[in-house]
């Protein structure tokens, strides 16, 4: 028990530990929107690997609780795209893992080697994003 707690605290405390490893998703628990979902991570202790939220690195998508009806509709379509993309493969990998806001993991997400970020951008469901001020989604349709 102490060994797992020590391992868990080390994972939580230091970003470089995350950045040096990749993880394989064992189960997709839920998909909230196009760039946020919850998973179980194979081989990780429950405290850091069970029902853990993941934020997809490198993209910004419309928000489910958006500012207008158009944004909410775009968000639902993007969420459904992400859900289908994640379910389409046999292996989901989290690469370049970092600690993000709200206790989420920030990671590059790959499904059978295909980048979720690239697929979301190519399909028009997301835009490239690397911090800073985000553009709105209400003017788009």
How high is the pLDDT of residue 14?
45
Q: What is the mean pLDDT of residues 25-53?
A: 95
| Axis crossing angle, helix 69-87 with helix 116-123, rounded to the nearest 10 | 140
- How far is Cα 110 from Cα 96, in angstroms, rounded to an integer? 11
Q: How confident is the model at residue 18 (pLDDT cuts 50, 70, 90)?
A: very low
Instruction: Give me the domains of the chain, ranges plus CATH numbers.
Output: 23-124 (2.40.50.90)
pLDDT digits (tens, 9 = 90+) for 93-114: 999 999 887 789 999 999 999 9
DSSP letter (8 states) at residue 136: P
Q: Which of 8-17, 36-45, 97-106 has the highest mean pLDDT?
A: 36-45
Q: Which neighbouring-strand residues pair with 126?
A: none
Distances in Å between the alpha carbon of 77 and those of 58, 73, 110, 126, 138? 19, 6, 20, 11, 14
pLDDT at residue 49 greater than cutoff 80 = yes
- How far is Cα 89 from Cα 110, in angstroms, rounded to an integer? 9
DSSP letter (8 states) at residue 37: E
């Amino acid at each position: 028990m102490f060994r797992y707690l020590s391992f868990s605290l080390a994972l939580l405390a230091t970003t470089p530990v995350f950045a040096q490893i990749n993880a394989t998703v064992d189960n997709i628990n839920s998909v909230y929107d196009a760039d946020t979902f919850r998973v179980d991570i194979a081989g990780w202790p429950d405290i850091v690997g069970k029902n853990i939220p993941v934020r997809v690195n490198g993209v910004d998508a419309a928000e489910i609780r958006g500012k207008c009806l158009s944004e909410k509709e775009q968000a639902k379509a993007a969420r459904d795209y992400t859900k289908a993309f994640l379910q389409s493969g046999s292996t989901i990998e989290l690469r370049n893992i970092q600690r993000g806001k709200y206790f989420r993991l920030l990671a590059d997400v790959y499904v059978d080697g295909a980048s979720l970020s690239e697929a979301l951008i190519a399909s028009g469901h997301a835009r490239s994003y690397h911090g800073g001020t985000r553009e709105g989604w209400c003017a788009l349709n």
